[in-house]
Structure 1
Amino acid sequence: MQRGKPGAGRPVRTSRQVRALRQERGWRVLVATLLVLTAVAGTVGWTLEKGETPRTGPPPGITAWRADRVFGVPLPDPVRDPPSAAREFFAALSEAKARALARRHPGVVGNLDGAPVSLRYEANARALRLGRSEQRVRSVNPAVPPAGRAQARELAARYSALLTPGRQILAFDPRGRGQVAEVHGDLGRARHVSVIVPGSDNDLSTFDRSRDAYSTPSGMARSLRRAAGDDIAVIAWVGYTTPTGLGPDAATARLAAAGAPRLNRFVTALPTVDGAPRPVVFCHSYGSVVCGLAASGLAASELVVLGSPGLRADDVADLRTRARVWAARDDSDWIRRVPNVEFLGLGHGRDPVDPAFGALRVPTGQVKGHTGYFAPNTESLRAFAEIATGSGTVTGRPPADSDAP
């Protein structure tokens, strides 16, 4: 092919032609946006739910915490102070005083970024026991309507499941639909740390359901740790309000924008072993929208998105992240049929597996559907384990034009 100067051989367009092309592009975007709505409705059902109210404020018990002067000084504030303030505060306390504080304020200490991990586990176990007792009383209270008593029994059962010996609950907020984070592995000693950020319909009730286990946050985390080995800690993080169903909340970035600062703070506060790399963050489905908005401030070494509707970015450079970016999407995933546009707040932009986006591709052999990426014996899980530990043969490859969806 003969090459000349840039632009050589291209027709010169008049201003009228340029305006016509711009108008045509505008119509294409509008049509594509309508296709987003049509594809979602026809593929998985458009849920006309009332918009979710994001939980973004301080943890339960904050009023009593801020008023407490047990040590003659203000306690570290979980919203106003950086996680380093909590870290320094507890480093100066004796173990007895720290545990006493966790007993007095389990809701705050259990969710306090920067507090010792073991203390957070202890505080959240106490908060769960208190919550279970309250729900058991409510479940037999004749003054509570039957539906309320049934809900109380269900909540008590969920709390009991999280209190199973050996579980390490790093965050727990029972308000609303509930938020929770669980650690798999020894976070204080692990040479590698990964965080999994799930998508729609994840909350306290769906955190570790038995049906379709590898689609749940805890199931994904357990599967990754089994594949990656004992030298890793994996955290299942449902620390933001996720969309319910695939309605307006899933099509916009409103909930993702509320969750992104929470993810940044959480990851920044994670303890790391000296010399260990920064955490690897895996983002599934709508969780990748959260990660895309958080990317510029996310303290991650690798950012892996899977089954993504888009990251609200045109390309990797637009994310303004120091992390290496990977993308996985199998042809069997229904999300490939959702047009990747962003218009009037709807849609999430370019598909990250598009060659023009610039992410490294993750192989997806043996993956089935939108939730199969962490299933055993899949190429994606093997690649995830290697990315998480920095080992093995997966190095990624720039996507070729033939890989375009």
Structure 2
Amino acid sequence: MRRFGRTLVTAALAVTVVGGTAGWASGDSQTAVTGPPPGTAAWRADMASGRPLPDPATAAPHEVAAFFAGLDDAARRALVRSHPLVVGNLDGAPLPLRYEANRIAAAATGEARYAPLAAPDRRILAFDPRGRGQVAEVFGDLEHAVHVSVIVPGSDNDATVYDARRGPHTGPAGMARSLRGATGGATAAVAWIGYTTPVGVGLDAADGRLARAGAVRLARFTAGLDAVGAPDPVLFCHSYGSVVCGLAARHTDATDVVAFGSPGMRAATAAALRTGARVWAARGPSDWIADVPNVEFAGIGHGADPTSAAFGARRVPAADVQGHTGYFAPGTQSLTAFAAIAKGELR
């Protein structure tokens, strides 16, 4: 009975502490944005060159890619103009069409906070304004890249704050830019906020509900990269994002999964992730995530510490990392190792 009581206390502490990049603010319960993008009903009712359009809810990314390959340029661009929110979020659609569609969609919202996403020099790979909004941006040339990395962030990330001021080399975009710079431009990096993240610290951050929904979307996103001929990606998974990656790993073709600042990956060991990817883990000495109990009780908490010897992940050096978000700071051991992993040089 005493042991059971300690477990309850530990689980309660996990609810209080587990969070994301913002730290210690209280959190509100979020409704996960799932399913096909806005405008799907009109898309389903349309045709191109006398052919029905692939259903965004059921067509696999490779089917989507095959469909677009059978259209001429005029038909493709007509779909972009008529259905920008669908084309811009349709995994398997050609990358230039998605970039163009998302420029149109971001501009069409009429919201000042989304206006920068419509700039012609940006490669916005996904944009969904529902809820708090979701966005993915490419840094580098994804069409011709030899190496691809995807940054999967944790709590308090969404389209509404994506372009907000942050500390250097933090946030999904800052991490992606820093990683690409550290590789000397040898990799394309994607900042992926493709799921509904928790807000602050609360039950959402300690529970796996949003991570499960995010894992489905991450798996489909990586299948979309494969469908357009991109290399198998490296997933860099921060904080609650590592929970998403832990649940998605077995369903992706990632070569490597890197968890950093992680509260757990909902698996007892790296082997339990059931992925062929190499699994890596890093935690800096001053990262407050170390105070999060590595437990799972009644669905609360995310399980074993990925940096523990028992978990079995490859360790990434992080002795000079500051805080919870300093893993991509220039000159750190972690960024040097991340760059080598991204280029396939560290195995």
| TM-score for both structures, normalised by structure 2 | 0.95
Task: Tell me what 2:24 maps to.
Answer: 45
Q: Compare 72-81 and 244-253 and name the one that shifted more.
A: 72-81
Aligned to 1:113, what secondary structure does the other structure show? Answer: coil
Rounded Cα–Cα distance in structure 2 between residues aligned with 1:231 and 1:224: 10
Task: Tell me what 2:35 maps to.
Answer: 57
Matched, 1:350 2:328: no
CA contact (8 A) 2:234 2:255 kept: yes
CA contact (8 A) 2:17 2:201 kept: no
Aligned to 1:385, what secondary structure does the other structure show? Answer: helix
CA contact (8 A) 2:139 2:176 kept: yes
Counterpart pick for 1:95 among 73, 76, 83: 73
Deviation at 1:350, TM superposition (A): 0.6
Q: Spell out the pairing of 1:1-400 with structure 2 (5 A cutoff).
A: 25-39=3-17, 44-45=23-24, 47-49=26-28, 51-132=29-110, 155-156=111-112, 158-271=113-226, 278-391=232-345, 394-395=346-347
Aligned to 1:55, what secondary structure does the other structure show? Answer: coil
| TM-score for both structures, normalised by structure 1 | 0.81
Rounded Cα–Cα distance in structure 2 between residues aligned with 1:303 and 1:37: 25
Rounded Cα–Cα distance in structure 1 between residues aligned with 2:338 and 2:190: 14
Q: Cα RMSD between the aligned structures?
A: 1.9
Rounded Cα–Cα distance in structure 2 between residues aligned with 1:197 and 1:174: 19
- After superposition, the Cα gap between the structure-2 partners of 1:30 and 1:372, relative to the gap in structure 1 and judged at 3 Å, is same
Identity across matched positions, percent: 59
Rounded Cα–Cα distance in structure 1 between residues aligned with 2:184 and 2:291: 35
Aligned to 2:47, what secondary structure does the other structure show? Answer: coil
Letter in 1 for 2:54: P
Rounded Cα–Cα distance in structure 1 between residues aligned with 2:204 and 2:277: 27
Deviation at 1:31, TM superposition (A): 3.0
Which 5+ residue runs of structure 2 have no aligned equivalent?
none
Rounded Cα–Cα distance in structure 1 between residues aligned with 2:13 and 2:143: 47
- C-alpha distance after superposition, 1:182-221 (max 9, x if no partner): 0001111000001010000000122132222422111111
Q: Compare 192-201 and 23-32 and name the one that shifted more.
A: 23-32
Rounded Cα–Cα distance in structure 1 between residues aligned with 2:141 and 2:68: 20
Letter in 1 for 2:46: D
Aligned to 1:88, what secondary structure does the other structure show? Answer: helix
Aligned to 1:356, what secondary structure does the other structure show? Answer: coil
Letter in 2 for 1:111: N
| Larger RCO, structure (CA 8 Å, separation 6 or more) | 2
Which 5+ residue runs of structure 1 have no aligned equivalent?
1-22, 133-154, 396-405
Rounded Cα–Cα distance in structure 2 between residues aligned with 1:336 and 1:76: 46
Larger CA Rg, structure 1 vs 2: 1
Deviation at 1:286, TM superposition (A): 0.3
CA contact (8 A) 1:272 1:278 kept: no
- Equivalent pairs, count: 345
Rounded Cα–Cα distance in structure 2 between residues aligned with 1:48 and 1:122: 35
Deviation at 1:366, TM superposition (A): 2.3
CA contact (8 A) 2:263 2:305 kept: yes
Rounded Cα–Cα distance in structure 2 between residues aligned with 1:101 and 1:199: 33
Deviation at 1:377, TM superposition (A): 1.2
Letter in 1 for 2:62: S
CA contact (8 A) 1:267 1:279 kept: yes
Task: Identify, as 1 or 2, the structure richer in helix.
Answer: 1
